[in-house]
């Protein structure tokens, strides 16, 4: 039986560990925290996952919270005007629903399932020296430790990493008590509120440790008015700042949030990181090789809500590559081709996410504006969050955008 070590128990590490375990591999999973520590710890993400990524979980029968988590059926975009009214406001319908299950709930639950099914769970914060030893005793070592210190083993790929500094300051608050959404009370949606030159507010329903909740997530351009959370330690102060900024920049979202309270004392998160693509193979001091997984090798800014989706897609691609490889050695060539298979998908996410961090060009503004009049455009934009490769067909190139808009307007006026 092939022995595999996975370091890091997040979306990618746990999905891979459980997938390999059910295919008969002998899996050891190393986590720097216990399930209880994760469950009672700080929120880590907003983790909205779209249909394709959720399907990978369903395929492994890991969709334990699907019936409890709110079904997110749409994705809305609002753009603030200089007077803080809404210049643009629309919602696109998703072909398959999205869901956000608090990673504290999911990772803790999956970790317990892995152990109950006989998996070796080691609670230890791995260092490079540990991996040096383990690379000699396992057939394959994979590092799925997110954006932690172990990424230093993987060289930065400058050709795929246009930024060397964070592009947004992130501030998350999980709340109970949001009022109903007047625009479409009959279904849930992720709402993206763009405040030109300042940043973005994302509002989305989630399933957290205390049941259904909503997440208020500010992405602020560094140095701007939303970059206001550094140094705030008190969670209630964090929430007060979140609401103050909502009242100022997105009053339509603030109107629903006047009665909110934090879900728990660990329901806030603030930080920033530079989006980075890394080389997939880490070389250990003793000569052993390790393969990087998900955020370790491709860390995007969360502005497009893709990291957990990508982690699920990466775990799925790696799982298939491992199984297809049979009993042959997991050498450098195999590691590179396994990563390349994931990169086929990930490159589209990187391209689109990095574009969304910049100032939108005129044709993109036209596209976002046109989605308010043309429902098929809104729907296609929304479903791009599930399949970012589609943006290549109508988003980046002004000619393609104009041709697409002409085609949809023509069809609308002929109807």
Ligand X SMILES: Cc1cc2nc3c(=O)[nH]c(=O)nc-3n(C[C@H](O)[C@H](O)[C@H](O)COP(=O)(O)OP(=O)(O)OC[C@H]3O[C@@H](n4cnc5c(N)ncnc54)[C@H](O)[C@@H]3O)c2cc1C
Residues near ligand X (CB under 6 A) are 7-13, 30-33, 45-49, 125-126, 144-146, 148, 150, 170, 172, 269, 294-295, 302, 305-309, 311
**Residue 11 Cβ vs ligand X, minimum distance, rounded to whole Å:** 4
In the bound state with ligand X, the residue whose beta carbon lies nearer, of 43 and 243, is 43
**Residue 186 Cβ vs ligand X, minimum distance, rounded to whole Å:** 23
In the bound state with ligand X, the residue whose beta carbon lies nearer, of 174 and 404, is 174
CB half-sphere exposure, 159, CA atoms < 13 A? 2
What is the bridge-based pairing of β-strands 26-31 and 120-123? parallel
Token pair for 9: 């128990």
| 269 within 8 A of 182, measured Cβ to Cβ | no
**Residue 1 Cβ vs ligand X, minimum distance, rounded to whole Å:** 23
In the bound state with ligand X, the residue whose beta carbon lies nearer, of 335 and 370, is 335
In the bound state with ligand X, the residue whose beta carbon lies nearer, of 383 and 401, is 383
Residues 385-409 as b or e (16 or more Cβ within 10 Å = b): bbebebbeebbeeeeebeebbeebe
CA–CA gap between residue 148 and residue 155 (Å, rounded): 14
CA–CA gap between residue 366 and residue 377 (Å, rounded): 11
In the bound state with ligand X, the residue whose beta carbon lies nearer, of 30 and 203, is 30
**Residue 55 Cβ vs ligand X, minimum distance, rounded to whole Å:** 14
**Residue 373 Cβ vs ligand X, minimum distance, rounded to whole Å:** 28
Type and span of the H or E element at 30: strand 26-31
Taken as a whole, the chain contains a residue count of 415
In the bound state with ligand X, the residue whose beta carbon lies nearer, of 64 and 273, is 273
In the bound state with ligand X, the residue whose beta carbon lies nearer, of 48 and 408, is 48
| 127 within 8 A of 37, measured Cβ to Cβ | no
Three-state DSSP state, 400: helix
In the bound state with ligand X, the residue whose beta carbon lies nearer, of 369 and 390, is 390
Q: Where are the beta strands (DSSP E) in 133-232?
A: 140-143, 169-176, 188-195, 199-208, 211-220
**Residue 306 Cβ vs ligand X, minimum distance, rounded to whole Å:** 5
**Residue 339 Cβ vs ligand X, minimum distance, rounded to whole Å:** 14
| 56 within 8 A of 158, measured Cβ to Cβ | no
What is the bridge-based pairing of β-strands 211-220 and 169-176? antiparallel
In the bound state with ligand X, the residue whose beta carbon lies nearer, of 28 and 144, is 144
Q: Could you identify the residue written with the tokens 């009053």?
A: 251
Residues 116-151 as b or e (16 or more Cβ within 10 Å = b): eeebebeeeebebebbbebbeebbbbbbbbbebebb
Number of H helices, E strands in the chain: 12, 17
CA–CA gap between residue 198 and residue 312 (Å, rounded): 31
**Residue 33 Cβ vs ligand X, minimum distance, rounded to whole Å:** 6
**Residue 96 Cβ vs ligand X, minimum distance, rounded to whole Å:** 15
In the bound state with ligand X, the residue whose beta carbon lies nearer, of 45 and 345, is 45
**Residue 307 Cβ vs ligand X, minimum distance, rounded to whole Å:** 2
């Amino acid at each position: 039986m092939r022995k595999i070590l996975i370091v890091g128990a997040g979306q990618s590490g746990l999905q891979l560990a459980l997938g390999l375990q059910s295919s008969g591999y002998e899996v050891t999973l190393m986590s720097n925290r216990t399930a209880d520590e994760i469950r009672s710890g700080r929120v880590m993400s907003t983790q909205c996952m779209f249909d394709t990524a959720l399907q990978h979980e369903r395929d492994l029968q890991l969709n334990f919270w699907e019936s409890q988590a709110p079904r997110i059926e749409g994705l809305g975009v609002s753009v603030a005007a200089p007077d803080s009214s809404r210049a643009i406001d629309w919602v696109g319908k998703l072909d398959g629903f999205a869901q956000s299950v608090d990673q504290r709930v999911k990772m803790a639950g999956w970790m317990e399932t892995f152990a109950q099914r006989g998996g070796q769970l080691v609670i230890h914060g791995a260092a490079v020296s540990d991996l040096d030893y383990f690379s000699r005793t396992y057939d394959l070592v994979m590092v799925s430790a997110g954006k932690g210190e172990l990424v230093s083993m993987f060289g930065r790929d400058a050709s795929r990493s246009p930024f060397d500094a964070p592009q947004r300051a992130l501030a998350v608050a999980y709340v109970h008590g949001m009022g109903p959404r007047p625009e479409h009370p009959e279904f849930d949606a992720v709402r993206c509120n763009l405040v030109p030159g300042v940043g973005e507010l994302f509002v989305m329903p989630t399933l957290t440790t205390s049941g259904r909740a909503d997440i208020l997530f500010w992405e602020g351009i560094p140095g701007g008015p939303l970059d206001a959370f550094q140094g705030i330690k008190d969670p209630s102060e964090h929430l007060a700042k979140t609401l103050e900024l909502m009242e100022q920049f997105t009053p339509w979202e603030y109107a629903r949030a006047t009665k909110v309270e934090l879900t728990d004392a660990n329901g806030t998160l603030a930080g920033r990181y530079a989006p980075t693509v890394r080389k997939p193979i880490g070389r250990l001091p003793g000569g052993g090789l390790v393969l990087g997984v998900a955020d370790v090798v491709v860390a995007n800014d969360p502005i497009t809500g893709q990291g957990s989706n990508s982690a699920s897609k990466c775990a799925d691609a790696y799982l298939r590559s491992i199984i297809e490889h049979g009993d042959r050695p997991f050498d450098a060539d195999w590691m590179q081709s396994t990563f390349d298979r994931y990169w086929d998908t990930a490159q589209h996410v990187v391209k689109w996410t990095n574009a969304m961090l910049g100032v939108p060009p005129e044709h993109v503004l036209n596209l976002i504006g046109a989605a308010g009049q043309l429902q098929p455009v809104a729907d296609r934009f929304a479903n791009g969050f599930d399949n970012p490769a589609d943006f290549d067909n109508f988003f980046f190139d002004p000619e393609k955008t104009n041709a697409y808009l002409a085609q949809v307007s023509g069809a609308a006026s002929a109807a």
